[in-house]
Structure 1
Amino acid sequence: MGDFDDLLSANADYAADFQLKGFDGVARAGVAIVTCMDSRIDPLGMLGLKPGDAKIFRNPGGRVTVAAMEALVLGAHLLNVQRILVIPHTRCAMASNSESELRARIGESSGQDASWLPLSVVDDQVRALTEDVAKVRSHPLIPDTVAVGGFMYDVDSGRLDQKV
């Protein structure tokens, strides 16, 4: 149980001044973000938002997967989402390694065969971003009134660059 003591202690401090009690869970700023799981990304901070302002979906590579699309549809119809940002980033492991390289690294780390593991590597981030934005814009359950944009986040400068 001691493995999580530091985190539970931090949570106790957080809960002592908890500001979202009773909040209904809608995106107060009307924003949804699909981005990578990379810990160098602060989705709210990079856009000047705060907790409660946006719906955030994270996965390796920041791709619009089936699960991400499910979140976006729910957000657009039930959670006040009016703008969707798809945000991959520079120096992403999913874009700078091949599937076989990542499998080999995982295999070495785990001591097990990882050749069967499906990994969603990206060979061209701008092309993948363009495809993902088109996928969201053309989805029959994403209203035309929802703005959708594709951005690249630079992990070294903190800057966003709109690509789509």
Structure 2
Amino acid sequence: MDDFSDLMAANRAFADDFALGGFDGVAHAGVAIVTCMDSRIDPLRMLGLQHGDAKIFRNPGGRVTSAALEALVLGVHLLGVERVLVVPHTRCAMAANTEAELRVKVGESAGLDASWQQFHVIADQVAALEEDVRKVRSHPLIPDTVKVGGFLYHVDTGLLEQKL
């Protein structure tokens, strides 16, 4: 239990003056964001959004995976999503390493053979972004009325660059 005591104490302090309850789970700004798990990305603040405004799906590299598509379909049909932003970022480890390099790094850290683990590295971020935007736009359960854009987030400036 002590492993998490600092976080639990912080949560108690957070809950003491919690004012974010009562939301209905709908994306009030009609926005969904698929982005990387990188801690340098603050998805809501980078777009001027607040708690309850958007649905956010994060994974290594910010890729549109089958799980991300599942979330987007639910968001569009049940949670008010009208616009989707796919947002990878600069200086991403998934784009800066090869599959082999990540397997070696993880294997050394784990002290185990990691040669079997897939990491889905990104050889070309723009090409991957084009593929991901195409996946969302062509999904049969995501109507053409949903606007889909591809962006690159610059971690050193905080700026978004629209690519698609």
Counterpart-to-counterpart distance in 1, 2:14 and 2:30 = 25
Q: Where does the alignment leave 5 or more consecutive residues of structure 2 unmatched?
A: none
Q: TM-score, normalised by structure 2?
A: 0.98
Structure 2 CA distance, aligned partners of 1:26 and 1:45?
18
Question: Corresponding residue for 2:62?
Answer: 62
Alignment gaps of 5+ in structure 1: none
CA distance in 2, matches of 1:20, 1:41: 21
Percent identity at matched positions?
Answer: 73
**Cα offset for 1:63?**
0.1
Determine if the alignment matches structure 1 residue 17 to structure 2 residue 17.
yes
Q: Check if 1:122 corresponds to 2:119.
A: no
Tell me the CA shift for residue 82 of structure 1: 0.5
**Partner SS for 1:61:** helix
1:19 deviates by 2.2
Q: Using the alignment, how far apart are the partners of 1:137 and 1:19 within structure 2?
A: 36
> What secondary structure, in the 3-state scheme, does the structure 2 residue paired with 1:106 have?
helix
Task: Tell me which moved more, 5-14 or 114-123.
Answer: 5-14
Count how many residue pairs are aligned between Structure 1 and Structure 2: 164
The TM-score normalised by the length of structure 1 is 0.98
Structure 1's consecutive aligned runs of 4 or more residues displaced over 4 angstroms after TM superposition are none
Q: Which moved more, 1:21-30 or 1:132-141?
A: 21-30
1:152 maps to which residue?
152
Partner in structure 1 of residue 32 of structure 2:
32
- RMSD, aligned CA: 0.7
Match of 2:92 in 1: 92
Separation (CA, whole Å) in 2 of partners of 1:90 and 1:145: 29
Can you list the C-alpha shifts for 1:55-74, whole angstroms capped at 9, x where unaligned?
00000000000000000000
